[in-house]
Amino acid sequence: MFIYTVQPGDSLYRISIKYEIDLDRIRLANGLSQTNIVPGQALLIPLNVYTVQPGDSMYSIARMAYVPFQSLINANPSVNPNELMPGMKITIPDISNYYITALGYYALRSPALDQALINDFAPYATFISLFEYHFSSDGSLNFLDDSTAIQTAWSRRVNPLATITNLTETGFSTELTHQVLNNPTARSNLINNIYSIVTTRGYAGVNIDFERVAAEDRDLFSGFLRLLKERLQPEGYWMTIAVPAKTSDDIPWLLGYDYGAIGSVVDLMFIMTYDWHHAASEPGPVAPIDEIRRTITYSLQYVRRDKLLIGVPFYGYNWEVPYQPGSIAQALSNQSAVELAMRFQVPIQYSTTYQAPYFEYVDENGQQHVVWFEDARSVSMKMLLIREYTLQGVGAWQLTLGFPEGPWLLTNFFRVKRV
């Protein structure tokens, strides 16, 4: 695999001729329903042999393939790096010898859709966390029609997890979490009900996704996790959690999360390394690489690396500009972002500082927009970070958002652990 950045004047046909690959293979790998492309667009080329182009070097080829330079040299012992000629064939080495845990969130739909979609996602997942159960102030949980999803996951050698959230009609609730954590009866009820859901529904374990936990509830939250783990562990159930990304312990709105205490309890910690810019913020990259690196560095002070999963967003945001405080950006899938650039025929830019793509356009009403999202290049850089820090794996929010390159990238960089 390598990633080609579309140049002005390119067409899919010319690119297919250049790299000696069937045009439809490029379309399939990149989820293209048409042959329309725009300059700056990243195209994943699913080949393990690269055809040298004018101006290429072994260094530039290694960068396009996201493989170490020396690995590329070693894979081509008969090639003199200083004597590359157009048309020469360069073997791209297989670097998928890194086994990871892959966790993906899946929002339940209907039994028929659940079965079909989970069948599609299963080859690329160790865990699928079914979204979502939420609790009330007395610790009771809602009902989910999840039987088909659970059975399908198991049949495809994937561990199904029950996602437990503090969601309400108005979003993730700090107050609801505070009420339950500070009420011993409600807290005990919630633990019992989670245990009952896991055991009676046939889950492999649980994923706790309590967001916006208050600083005053920090110790109570960690204690709740310990009590839940004590209930689940004797029977071999997985205890996993999703936590916001932290780069220090003095960020006021994240004081409710004690990485050290949480990391000592859970089996896996999924860090939501995204939304540095979000729907209610000013425009900017959703998952800038420097912030992810800082998050990993901080996390490793408190949590074993074999417990850490780095989150990858399958979405971006579309802001109206100039930005007006209080305005809300539109969320869109990575694939929808590319299709939007195609629709308005605007070039896609790429920030090497943030390792993230973006573009600007003017809509039919004359309103200016800027869109930041993720593509094959930016996700590849995140995959390399996982390898660099030898972390346990990767997670995705969420599986049904359009990102056709995802399975190709995952299997290029890793081998996924299965049940």
Q: What pLDDT, in 10s, does the model give residues 279-315?
A: 999 999 999 999 999 999 999 999 999 999 999 999 9
Above 90 in pLDDT, residue 328? yes
Same domain, 70 and 188: no
The confidence score (pLDDT) of residue 419 equals 80
Same domain, 222 and 82: no
Q: What pLDDT, in 10s, does the model give residues 38-90?
A: 999 999 999 999 999 999 999 999 999 999 999 999 999 999 999 999 999 99
Q: What pLDDT, in 10s, does the model give residues 94-110?
A: 999 999 999 999 999 99
Using CA atoms, how far apart are residues 125 and 138, in angstroms rounded to an integer?
Answer: 34
Same domain, 14 and 143: no
Using CA atoms, how far apart are residues 95 and 407, in angstroms rounded to an integer?
Answer: 15
**Active site (annotated) includes residue 211:** yes
Q: What is the mean pLDDT of the chain?
A: 97
- Could you tell me the residue range of the domain that residue 49 belongs to? 2-91
Q: What pLDDT, in 10s, does the model give residues 8-46?
A: 999 999 999 999 999 999 999 999 988 899 999 999 999
Q: Tokens for 188? A: 């005990």
Please name the residues in contact with 314: beta carbons below 8 A apart, sequence gap of 6 or more: 333, 334, 374, 396, 397, 398, 399, 401, 402, 403, 406
Q: Which of 40, 69, 91 is the last residue of a domain?
A: 91
Same domain, 20 and 132: no
Using CA atoms, how far apart are residues 184 and 179, in angstroms rounded to an integer?
Answer: 10
Q: What pLDDT, in 10s, does the model give residues 232-276?
A: 999 999 999 999 999 999 999 999 999 999 999 999 999 999 999
User: Of the residues 211, 216, 235, 374, which is catalytic?
Assistant: 211
Above 90 in pLDDT, residue 401? no
* Cis ω for the linkage preceding 398 (within 30 of 0): yes
Same domain, 18 and 129: no
Per-residue pLDDT, averaged over 367-375, amounts to 98
Beta carbons of 101 and 126 less than 8 angstroms apart: yes
Q: What pLDDT, in 10s, does the model give residues 137-147?
A: 999 999 999 99
Q: Tokens for 253? A: 């709105």
Please name the residues in contact with 268: beta carbons below 8 A apart, sequence gap of 6 or more: 101, 103, 127, 238, 240, 241, 307, 308, 309, 392
Above 80 in pLDDT, residue 229? yes
Is the pTM higher than 0.85?
A: yes
Query: How many domains is the chain partitioned into structurally?
Result: 2
Within a domain: residue 354? no
The confidence score (pLDDT) of residue 66 equals 98
Within a domain: residue 326? no
Q: Which of 64, 91, 118 is the last residue of a domain?
A: 91
The domain spanning residue 12 has which CATH number? 3.10.350.10
The one-character DSSP state at 149 is H
Using CA atoms, how far apart are residues 63 and 92, in angstroms rounded to an integer?
Answer: 11
Q: Which of 45, 61, 91 is the last residue of a domain?
A: 91
Same domain, 87 and 121: no
Within a domain: residue 371? no
Q: What pLDDT, in 10s, does the model give residues 271-289?
A: 999 999 999 999 999 999 9
In the chain, % of residues over pLDDT 90: 97
How far does Cα 61 stand from its chain's mean position? 26
Same domain, 243 and 283: yes
The confidence score (pLDDT) of residue 34 equals 84
The confidence score (pLDDT) of residue 409 equals 96
The domain spanning residue 139 has which CATH number? 3.20.20.80
